[in-house]
Amino acid sequence: MTESEIKEKQLGKALLKLTQKYGSPLYAYFTEDIEKNYRKLRSAFGDEGVHIMYACKALTNLVVLKFLKKLGCGLDAVSLEEAKLGLLAGFKGREIVFTPSMVGGADYDKAVEYGLRINVGDLQALEYMGKNHPNYPVCIRLNPHVYAGGHEKISVGHVQSKFGISIFQMDEVLDLVKKYSIRVDGVHMHAGSDIQKDEQYMEAIGVIFGKAEFFPDLEYVDIGSGFKIPYRSSDTSSNLEKIASFVKEKLNTLSVKLNKRVELLMEPGKFLVSNAGYFIVEATVVKKAPGKTFVGVDSGFNHLMRPMLYDAWHDVINLSNPNGKSQKYDLVGYICETDTFATDREVAEIRVGDFLTFKNTGAYGFNMASNYNSKLRPAEVLVHEGKDYLIRRRETFEDLISTQVLPDLFY
Ligand SMILES: *Cc1c(COP(=O)(O)O)cnc(C)c1O
């Protein structure tokens, strides 16, 4: 057995044990992996003047947020609710970048009240900040218009994307900045981690560094996230050293030009947490059909949506029968929609009652879960220094109806 096979065996046993203890379906996360990912970024980019703002929409459990804070992360929050979770987890206002899309003035008022770093992605918001909060610094989210490839729903830096202010509207940006004497303390760009090549990410980074020079009050450049991770064996991951050396050079040049030390922010989401998470389900039905074998599990796109939303690939392991003869299966959910997790997938023989795990589900797994079909959301468990902790209990039927109000009707 190779070292990685031994590791997988041990991991399988650990996940099986967690499932026996906490039930299925279950999300399990390992802090050890999150920390490894964090250290990789730090070793490539360094510490001094470098702020790793974890994009918490990937996984917002408070305990995970606290762990990331302890490691030395800030946060990227795309909604006020995420920012509030961050504050609750102990982050200070300035340690949170608020990067909403398409929100009105009230959200910016609150963001000012909380003291967040504010990242505006449209001219209306920029003008609103200038008019209503003239002394509050803002960061400007630019759309670099670099086609990053990848799935259309994840790719966000191209010309037709709703995100960011077009670099072709710099004149309008500069007019507003001048009109309201807005202090622009940062520029931002986010390419999306479905980016196909590091070169495309670097090209987009290069574009915003070019625009950064227009802002004499600039204190930081936020390169968002374009950090790719492998989901299947043929996938590549980002070359961090290459990206880091490119960024450092740009930072140095900009710092010289502006005659100050410009800092760096980045917003990795899935890079930090994806491979730290496992989603475990139970095989409930094995159904032979002509030319196919379907395996139904006690879950569906209500718990793990990425395969259906993005055609995402998640490796599957049969935890209960790891040495079984491998066969091809279609793994499907219990939702009354087409909710296929995997098609024609080789998995060790699956029997009813076996527990399976989907790998790489720490990011955009639980956080995209819903109550569709009136199904309950799973529990979340965190493994830290060899011990397991329940960090979100399984939902109950009472939770499901707890927000419904029954007026005195229809008796
Ligand atoms: C989602 C998001 C990220 C993180 O993206 P990943 O693909 O998970 O790394 C970073 N910044 C912003 C603004 C985002 O919306």
Q: 99 and 18 in one domain?
A: no
Q: 256 and 282 in one domain?
A: no
Residue 195 counted as domain residue: yes
| φ, ψ dihedrals at 14, nearest 5° | -65, -40
Q: 259 and 290 in one domain?
A: no
Q: Compute the C-alpha angle 52/56/58, nearest 5°.
A: 115
Q: Verify whether ligand 1 is closer than 6 Å to residue 267 (CB atom).
A: yes
Summarize pLDDT for 244-298 with one digit per residue, the tens.
999 999 999 999 999 999 999 999 999 999 999 999 999 999 999 999 999 999 9
Q: 83 and 222 in one domain?
A: yes
Q: 249 and 103 in one domain?
A: yes
As beta bridge partners, residue 119 has 139
Q: 300 and 193 in one domain?
A: no
C-alpha of 141 from chain center: 18
* CA-proximal residue: ligand 1, atom 3 (nearest): 55
Last residue of a domain, which of 234, 268, 302?
A: 268
Nearest in space to 5 (alpha carbons), one of 282, 360, 350, 323: 323
99 CA from centroid of ligand 1 (Å): 10
DSSP state of 351: -
Predicted local distance difference test score (pLDDT) of residue 4: 86
Residue 360 counted as domain residue: yes
Mutate to test the pocket of ligand 1, among 78, 120, 188 (most ligand atoms within 8 A of CB): 78
CB-based burial of residue 104 (10 Å sphere; 0-12 exposed, 13-18 middle, 19+ buried)?
exposed
Nearest in space to 143 (alpha carbons), one of 217, 224, 66: 224
State the total domains in the chain. Answer: 2
With a CB cutoff of 8 Å and minimum separation 6, the contacts of 395 are 371, 376, 377, 378
Predicted local distance difference test score (pLDDT) of residue 356: 98
Q: 310 and 188 in one domain?
A: no
Q: What's the CATH code of the domain at 164? A: 3.20.20.10
**pLDDT of residue 12 exceeding 70:** yes
194 CA from centroid of ligand 1 (Å): 10
C-alpha of 234 from chain center: 22
Active site residues: 336
Nearest in space to 138 (alpha carbons), one of 106, 99, 81: 99
Q: What's the CATH code of the domain at 24? A: 2.40.37.10
Last residue of a domain, which of 221, 244, 268?
A: 268
Residue 152: pLDDT band (50, 70, 90) is low
Helices (H), 72-213: 80-88, 105-114, 123-132, 170-179, 198-212
Q: Verify whether ligand 1 is closer than 6 Å to residue 150 (CB atom).
A: no
Q: Whole-angstrom Cα distance, residue 223 to residue 410?
A: 56
Summarize pLDDT for 14-30 with one digit per residue, the tens.
999 999 999 999 999 99
Residue 39 counted as domain residue: no
- Write the DSSP assignment of 202-269 as a string of letters: HHHHHHHHHHHTT-TT--EEE--------SSTT-----HHHHHHHHHHHHHHHHHHHTS--EEEE--S
* CA-proximal residue: ligand 1, atom 7 (nearest): 193
156 CA from centroid of ligand 1 (Å): 10
Produce one character per residue of 327-360: b if its CB has 16 or more CB atoms within 10 Å, e if not. Answer: eebbbbbbbeeebbbbeebebbebeeebbbbbbb
% helix, strand, coil for the chain, step of 5: 35, 25, 40
**pLDDT of residue 159 exceeding 60:** no
DSSP SS3 for 378:
coil
Q: 210 and 173 in one domain?
A: yes
* CA-proximal residue: ligand 1, atom 2 (nearest): 55
- Polymer length in residues for the chain: 411
For the CA of 119, the closest atom of ligand 1 is 13
Last residue of a domain, which of 268, 291, 307?
A: 268
Q: 323 and 211 in one domain?
A: no
Residue 49 counted as domain residue: no
403 CA from centroid of ligand 1 (Å): 30
Q: 384 and 289 in one domain?
A: yes
**pLDDT of residue 194 exceeding 90:** no
Cα separations in angstroms, 380 against 30, 63, 231, 373: 11, 10, 21, 21
Predicted local distance difference test score (pLDDT) of residue 67: 98
Residue 16 counted as domain residue: yes
DSSP SS3 for 293:
strand
Q: 352 and 232 in one domain?
A: no
Residue 224: pLDDT band (50, 70, 90) is very high
Nearest in space to 188 (alpha carbons), one of 160, 162, 167: 167
Predicted local distance difference test score (pLDDT) of residue 150: 60
Residue 262 counted as domain residue: yes
Predicted local distance difference test score (pLDDT) of residue 320: 97
Average pLDDT over residues 147-171: 73
Residue 125 counted as domain residue: yes
DSSP SS3 for 34:
helix
Summarize pLDDT for 78-124 with one digit per residue, the tens.
999 999 999 999 999 999 999 999 999 999 999 999 999 999 999 99
Range of the domain at 363: 3-28+274-401
**pLDDT of residue 153 exceeding 60:** no
* CA-proximal residue: ligand 1, atom 4 (nearest): 269
Residue 408 counted as domain residue: no
Q: 67 and 82 in one domain?
A: yes
Nearest in space to 333 (alpha carbons), one of 368, 285, 374, 400: 285
